[in-house]
Amino acid sequence: MTMKLLLIAVELVCLLSGIFSFGSETLSELSFLESDVVPTRPSSSSSSQPQPLMVDLTLIQGADSKGAVCLDGTLPGYHLDRGFGSGADSWLVHLEGGGWCNTIRNCVYRKKTRRGSSKYMENQIPFTGILSNKPEENPDFFNWNRVKLRYCDGASFSGDSEDESAQLQFRGQKIWLAAMEELMSKGMQKANQAFLSGCSAGGLASIIHCDEFRSLFPESSKVKCLSDAGFFLDATDVSGGRTLRNLFGGVVQLQEVQKNLPKSCLSQLDPTSCFFPQNVIEHIETPLFLLNTAYDVWQVQASLAPPSADRLGSWNECKSNHANCSSSQIQFLQDFRNQMLSDIKDFSKSSQTGLFINSCFAHCQSERQETWFADDSPLIEDKPIAVAVGDWYFDREVVKAIDCAYPCDNSCHNLVFNFK
């Protein structure tokens, strides 16, 4: 089997000199990595494939009276498809991703998009992957109540402040609380099984809010959490700088995220450090599963080799297609993988944690059908992601799946980009 390439035709905007501090242009373009990619590779059986379920947007009425609003002051929203049969009292809540905003300037830009305002959110979205309602696509959770909570605060559902002069509301924590209250009133309070998941910025949020989610339910309920592509490393970029630390520092300070980070972490480290999952996971008491690629393409492009750290563009070919990476660049990426494995070493020792770390160049594998559960899904030891997550959630098996290093895995759906 040859390495599968998922060809994504994406045009990134030209970045202004010196502002890959995740300025608004950059952030808006990079958010495609979270949920906006559209494969241009034709599917051999696309005409015979069933269409995904389309689920309506519901705005949380009255949320504004609780201060729970998007960046622009509009109501937050979610998409809910009701469970049935044996899953009628089971709930899966999936937190949307979409980057962050760390300055007034790019938060003002963001509030004019669906990442900062429900005015621009789609009225319907497809439920695929872990949200699918088809047993052949989502064997363990297809008949659960499945929710996608929309992301419009720019701080992983964790900020709580405002900027009156810029007319910006940083109310991610209040959105989280209002959404949980709404879902509990819709029947989630009767859940005997509950699962909090999230992708990318939403995957970071699912870690931060994992214990809060657990506290909503009685001890008799089975409650666990999944972070997909949310394990962002406090890594050194190719110039020796700390691009992602600078970004996270801006987010934490601007949106006062420290109010909602684990106090046990804050007693040991600074708030920015406690926004990095590597420093938070040891403080999470609820069972947590980490699903991540060892060479996460968002982190490669936006944290390790952003234009601000690679002004001559020597990483452009490598970032667009890993097959174009030089031996020294591959070694840099292997060092990144080694840091990730080192950071999860203690986490992996716990009997209640789960892992699926595959050696692919991808991002967010639970939302896309082809990577979650399909005939040619990514595998570790012949097990696809959906089966690994299900085995772990239902305690069928201990799952600590860590892939061998690149280029050994020929089951990957690697992302290839067209930079112009």
Query: Is 296 designated active site?
Result: yes
Instruction: List % helix, strand, coil for the chain (3-state, nearest 5).
Output: 35, 20, 50
Question: Does the CA dihedral 182-168-273-313 come out positive or negative?
Answer: positive
Can you say whether residue 22 is alpha, beta or left, with left for phi > 0 and alpha for psi between -120 and 50 degrees?
left
Separation between Cα atoms, residue 161 and residue 250, nearest integer Å: 13
- Separation CA 119–CA 110 (nearest Å): 12
Q: Are 304 and 238 in contact (CB under 8 A)?
A: yes
Active-site residue flag, 283? no
Comparing CA positions, the residue from 194, 76, 75 lying closest to residue 145 is 194
Identified catalytic residue from 140, 296, 403, 409: 296
Beta bridge partners, 375, equal none
Contact (CB, 8 A) for 172 and 156 = yes
Write down the catalytic residue from 31, 117, 158, 200.
200
Buried b / exposed e along 263-299 (16+ C-beta atoms within 10 A): eebeeeeebbbbbbbbbbbebbebbbbbbbbbbbbbb
- The number of C-alpha atoms within 13 Å of 293 and in the hemisphere containing its C-beta is 29
Question: What is the C-alpha to C-alpha distance for residues 97 and 103, in angstroms, rounded to an integer?
Answer: 18
Per-position b or e across 384-402, b if 16+ CB within 10 A of its CB: bbbbbbbbbbeeeeebbbb
For residues 300 and 334, the answer to whether their CB atoms sit within 8 Å is: no
Q: Are 392 and 399 in contact (CB under 8 A)?
A: yes
- Catalytic, out of 363, 366, 377, 411: 363
Task: Say how many Å lie between the first and final Cα of the chain, rounded.
Answer: 30
Token reading at 175: 């959105």
CA-to-CA distance for 107 and 404, rounded, in angstroms?
Answer: 39
363 in catalytic set: yes
User: Which residues carry out catalysis?
Assistant: 200, 296, 363
